[in-house]
C-alpha cells in the first residue's frame, strides 16, 4: 500500500477533470478522493478522514460549488480546510462572488500542473502554520482560534485572491479584454486595495492606541476646526470602507453650524467613517442614512441614523469590544470587528462622548458629542 503525505478532495462532475488532477497529484504521494457534486462530497467528508485541501468546480448538479463551500464552512471542524475553486477562464462573475464569500484560492481550467502544485503547497503550509499557532495558544486564546483567526485570515485572503485574479487575467488575456472586462477588473482591484488599506489603517490605529502614541498625537497635534467639515470628508472615506451599498443616499440635516472643536482631524475622520460605514452597510437599500448636527450650549452633537435591522438586547454589551461583530453569522459582513471600538476610543480620547441607541427592526442611531471651543 502506498504511503500518502497529503489528502486532496476533488469535486467535479467532469470525470476527465478528476482523472487529470489525479494523474498530476498521485505521483507526488498525494491521495485523491473524488466526488461529482457537493452532496456526494459532504458524504465523503462525514464518513472518511477530512481532506487537507478541497478543490471544487462551481457548476455541478444537485449542489454547486458555492453551496458546497458554505456547507463546509458551516461545520466548525472544517473551517480551516483550504477551499479552492476550479473554474473556466471566462467565469469572472462567479469567481468574484466566491471571493466575497471567502474562498482561499482558485484554479483555471485547463489546470496548470505547476500552479496546481504551488497552490496546494502554499495552502497546506499556511494551514499547518495557523494550526500550530492555534494549538500553542489554546488555553489562553481559545476565542482567537474560533473567531479572530477566521476573521483575520478571511480579511487578508479575500482581497489578495481578487488582486491575484486581476493579475492573472491581465497576464493571460490582456490583449483580448473588452473595455467592459477591463473596467470590471479595475473595479475588482480597487475594491481589494481599499479593503487591505482599511485593515492596515485599523491595525495601525490599534497599535498607536495600545502604545499611547495616538493619545500623545491627539494631545499635541489637535487644531481647531468645524466638525461638519470633518464629517463630509468622513462620508467619502466611509464609502471606500463599504464594499456594498457604496452609493446609498446620505441625507444631511443641520441648523447652526457655528462653533469649532479641537481635534486631530485624521484620526477623528477615521472614527466618523467607521460609524458611517456601519450605517451604510446595514441600512436598507431604499432608505437613506441620516446625519444631523446640532449646536448645544457647550457641545456640538452629531447623530448618524440608519433604518437597519438593529441589534438584539442580549448582544449590545459586546458592541464596543475589540474584534467583535454582532451576529456575523447572519450578515454578509467584512472586517475584523474593530470599527466601533476604534470610533468610541478615538472620540473619547478627544474629550467627546459616543452613545448608541438601537431597536430591533427599527434601526440604530449613534450620537457623538464634543465640547465646543
CATH number at residue 302: 3.30.565.10
- Do residue 237 and residue 131 come from a single domain? no
Q: Are residues 113 and 231 in the same domain?
A: no
pLDDT tens readout for residues 253-293: 987 777 899 999 999 999 999 999 889 888 888 899 999 99
How many helices (H) does the chain have, and how many strands (E)?
12, 12
Given a cut of 50, whether residue 18 has pLDDT beyond it is yes
Distance CA 143, CA 177 (A): 45
- Tell me the per-residue pLDDT of 291-343, one tens digit each, with 9 for 90 and over: 999 988 889 999 999 999 888 877 777 777 776 665 544 444 455 567 888 99
| Same-domain check for residues 245 and 339 | yes
In a domain, 240, yes or no: yes
Same domain, 227 and 349: yes
In a domain, 51, yes or no: yes
Judge if 235 and 331 occupy the same domain: yes
Q: Which of 95, 114, 136 is the last residue of a domain?
A: 136
Mean pLDDT of all residues belonging to the chain: 81
And the C-alpha cell for 276?
458611517
Residue 234 lies in a domain: yes
Same-domain check for residues 351 and 257: yes
Backbone angles phi, psi at 305, to 5 degrees: -125, 135
Most confident region among 113-122, 153-162, 200-209, 353-362 by mean pLDDT: 353-362
Residue 142 within any structural domain of the chain: no
Domain of 49 in residue numbering reads as 1-136
Does residue 192 lie in a domain region?
no
Q: Same domain for 236 and 349?
A: yes
- 96 and 3: one domain? yes
- Look at residues 17, 74, 64, 15 and name the one whose alpha carbon lies nearest to residue 41: 64
Number of compact structural domains in the chain: 2
Q: How large is the average pLDDT for residues 86-97?
A: 74
Structural domain ending residue among the three candidates 101, 136, 171: 136
Q: pLDDT band at 355, cuts 50/70/90?
A: very high
- CATH code for the domain of 2: 3.40.50.2300
Q: Would 2 be classed as within a structural domain?
A: yes
141 pLDDT band, cuts 50/70/90, is very low
Same domain, 366 and 229: yes
- Flag whether 176 is in a domain: no
User: In this structure, are strands 261-263 and 250-254 parallel, antiparallel, or unpaired?
Assistant: unpaired
- The Cα-based distances of 26 to 14, 83, 127 in angstroms read 18, 19, 21
**Which of the listed residues 85, 112, 136 is the one where a domain comes to its end?**
136
Do the beta carbons of residue 189 and residue 159 sit within 8 Å? no
User: What CA–CA distance (Å, rounded) separates 359 from 361?
Assistant: 6
Q: Express each pLDDT in 167-212 by its tens digit.
A: 788 888 777 888 888 888 888 777 777 777 777 788 888 888 888 8
Say if residue 139's pLDDT is above 60: no
Amino acid at each position: 500500500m502506498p504511503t500518502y503525505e497529503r489528502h486532496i478532495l476533488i469535486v467535479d462532475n467532469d470525470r476527465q477533470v478528476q482523472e487529470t488532477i489525479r494523474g498530476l497529484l498521485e505521483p507526488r504521494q498525494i491521495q485523491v478522493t473524488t466526488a461529482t457534486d457537493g452532496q456526494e462530497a459532504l458524504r465523503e467528508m462525514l464518513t472518511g478522514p477530512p481532506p487537507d485541501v478541497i478543490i471544487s468546480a462551481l457548476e455541478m448538479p444537485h449542489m454547486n460549488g458555492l453551496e458546497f463551500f458554505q456547507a463546509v464552512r458551516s461545520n466548525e471542524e472544517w473551517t480551516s480546510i483550504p477551499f479552492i475553486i476550479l473554474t473556466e477562464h471566462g467565469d469572472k462573475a462567479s469567481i468574484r462572488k466566491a471571493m466575497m464569500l471567502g474562498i482561499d484560492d482558485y484554479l483555471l481550467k485547463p489546470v496548470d500542473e505547476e500552479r496546481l502544485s504551488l497552490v496546494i503547497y502554499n495552502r497546506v503550509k499556511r494551514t499547518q502554520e495557523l494550526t500550530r499557532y492555534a494549538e500553542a495558544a489554546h488555553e489562553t486564546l481559545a476565542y482567537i482560534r474560533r473567531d479572530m483567526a477566521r476573521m483575520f485570515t478571511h480579511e487578508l485572503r479575500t482581497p489578495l485572491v481578487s488582486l491575484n485574479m486581476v493579475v492573472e487575467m491581465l497576464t493571460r488575456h490582456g490583449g483580448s479584454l473588452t473595455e467592459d472586462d477591463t473596467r470590471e477588473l479595475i473595479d475588482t482591484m480597487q475594491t481589494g486595495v481599499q479593503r487591505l488599506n482599511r485593515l492596515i489603517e485599523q491595525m495601525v490605529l490599534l497599535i498607536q492606541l495600545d502604545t499611547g502614541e495616538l493619545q500623545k498625537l491627539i494631545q499635541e497635534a489637535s487644531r481647531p476646526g468645524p466638525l461638519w467639515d470633518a464629517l463630509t470628508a468622513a462620508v467619502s472615506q466611509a464609502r471606500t470602507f463599504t464594499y456594498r451599498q457604496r452609493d446609498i443616499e446620505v441625507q444631511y440635516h443641520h441648523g447652526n453650524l457655528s462653533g469649532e472643536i479641537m481635534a486631530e482631524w485624521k484620526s477623528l475622520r477615521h472614527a466618523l467613517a467607521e460609524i458611517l460605514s456601519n450605517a451604510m452597510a446595514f441600512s436598507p437599500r431604499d432608505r437613506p442614512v441620516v446625519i444631523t448636527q446640532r449646536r448645544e450650549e457647550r457641545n456640538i452633537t452629531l447623530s448618524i441614523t440608519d433604518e437597519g435591522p438593529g441589534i438584539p438586547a442580549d448582544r449590545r454589551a459586546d458592541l464596543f469590544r475589540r474584534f467583535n461583530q454582532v451576529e456575523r453569522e447572519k450578515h454578509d459582513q467584512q472586517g475584523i470587528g474593530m470599527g466601533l471600538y476604534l470610533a468610541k476610543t478615538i472620540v473619547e480620547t478627544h474629550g467627546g462622548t459616543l452613545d448608541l441607541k438601537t431597536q430591533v427592526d427599527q434601526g440604530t442611531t449613534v450620537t457623538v458629542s464634543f465640547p465646543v471651543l
